[in-house]
Structure 1
Amino acid sequence: MKKSLSEIHEYWKQNSHPEKYNLKTERSSFLLSYVEKYIQPNERILEIGCNVGRNLHHLYQNDYKELTGIEISQEAVEQLHKVYPELAENTDIIHAPVESVLKHMERDHYDLVFTMAVLEHIHPDSEWIFNHIARITKSYLITLEAETDEHWRIFPRNYRDIFEGLGFKQVEQSTGESIKLPKYTLRIFKKN
């Protein structure tokens, strides 16, 4: 059964499962291996849907300090402050739905924007955010998303088609098989 945008938001506000999210450190290491190929530690990075901050913390521990995260779940943000207090103190964590944040961000502000299993949950009514992701990204975009699954809270999309249509060129593609996400596609895009 299809759900509305507000129902999807309410679900993620209540069901972010930060206790489970924080355990999957191999996923953060996988992400870091790609970030290091394209981005220097002094460049600005935004994670959309940072949950408890595991990925941001991993980047922070590896000398990436210009970090921002957006997270809809209050519980996840509270856990981030408890589990990673240094990260929380030194990182801009925005607690809000992505739809209310991206449209206010500056053009080409982030050298890298990345998502991990987040865009797949963006309701079709909010697909306009892809334009804003393209607008605020200065150099690189990384997506690791389930592109073919379909569920009441997962919306299948081909992110290559979307972001190449918005002025990016895909420079790398892989699967999430090595991190036990075989149905996920990793895409690295460079802004033209």
Structure 2
Amino acid sequence: MDSDDVHRRWTARSGAYSPEYYAYYGPNETSELLRETIARHADADAEILELGCSSGRHLAHLYDHGYENVSGVEINADAFDVMDEQYPELAAGGTFHHGAIEDVVPEFDEDAFDVVYSVETLQHLHPDAEWVFAELARVTGTLLVTVENEGHDGDGGDDSGENGADGDDSVGGGSDSDDERGANGADRGEDGETPAVNYIEDDFPLYYRDWNDIFTDVGLTEVASESLDRDTFRAFTPA
């Protein structure tokens, strides 16, 4: 599966992990943790960008708490229709970009956003698109936050918000040798260096990465880290 395959599958996604799915669950504990973290590092007039915003549940939580300069990138066009229905004030007040992260982010100026964040989105980027991680650091002026499944514990589920926790029980683990398999039974690349990968519902790839290594390697400093139910919450600032 290459980057184009991944894009096509998320573009047409319906049912579980679709824009309607996330709108149904609404803001959750991760939404509040994001708000609290942003409040410690940025003012209420901060320019905020969510990568893979879907129908906008996390941005809606921020918008409702006074952050009006919000933007989002989303590959699934249906997400914006759901946003119009579920979060009309956000849809009207925010700025949204339809497209893949790799296509949209390079068009932004350096330090274009005070805050950039991702909730279980970067984990789906194909290894061919890893060059965009340096671009994310380039456009971040104050704070970058990742909330991603790094494959340490639990399963390979995706962000649902049911019972107040991110993650889902859709993907089981495995017990194969770590020489051939990654975290939770995920397949490693043939070179042993590409990220371990698991598949959500045997369909969508989830790549396990150490986001501390990735973003410190491109010049950011980790200032906070917290283990959640299935994800690791990390906050970075420019060095």
TM range (shorter): over 0.9
Q: Which has the larger radius of gyration?
A: 2
Letter in 2 for 1:36: A
Give the match's secondary structure for 1:147.
coil
2:38 to 25, 35, 38: 35
| Distance in 2 separating the partners of 1:62 and 1:5 | 36
Give the match's secondary structure for 1:169.
strand
| Distance in 2 separating the partners of 1:59 and 1:53 | 10
Number of aligned residues: 185
Deviations 1:111-164 (A, max 9, x none): 110000000000001001101101100111000001125314111111100100
For residue 112 of structure 1, what is the aligned residue in structure 2?
A: 115
For residue 61 of structure 1, what is the aligned residue in structure 2?
A: 64
| Distance in 2 separating the partners of 1:107 and 1:58 | 26
> Quick check: 2:22–2:57 contact (8 Å CA) kept in 1?
yes
> Quick check: 2:41–2:142 contact (8 Å CA) kept in 1?
no
4+ long deviations beyond 4 Å: none
Report the alpha carbon displacement of residue 84 of structure 1 after superposing the two structures with TM.
Answer: 1.3
For residue 222 of structure 2, what is the aligned residue in structure 1?
A: 170
For residue 146 of structure 2, what is the aligned residue in structure 1?
A: 143
1:101 to 100, 104, 125: 104
Aligned-pair identity in percent equals: 31
Aligned pair 1:190/2:237, yes or no? yes
For residue 136 of structure 2, what is the aligned residue in structure 1?
A: 133
| Distance in 2 separating the partners of 1:71 and 1:82 | 17
Give the match's secondary structure for 1:69.
strand
Structure with higher helix content: 1
Report the alpha carbon displacement of residue 35 of structure 1 after superposing the two structures with TM.
Answer: 1.6
Report the alpha carbon displacement of residue 43 of structure 1 after superposing the two structures with TM.
Answer: 1.0
Give the match's secondary structure for 1:43.
coil
Report the alpha carbon displacement of residue 28 of structure 1 after superposing the two structures with TM.
Answer: 1.4
For residue 13 of structure 1, what is the aligned residue in structure 2?
A: 11
For residue 77 of structure 2, what is the aligned residue in structure 1?
A: 74
Report the alpha carbon displacement of residue 183 of structure 1 after superposing the two structures with TM.
Answer: 2.2
Report the alpha carbon displacement of residue 24 of structure 1 after superposing the two structures with TM.
Answer: 4.2
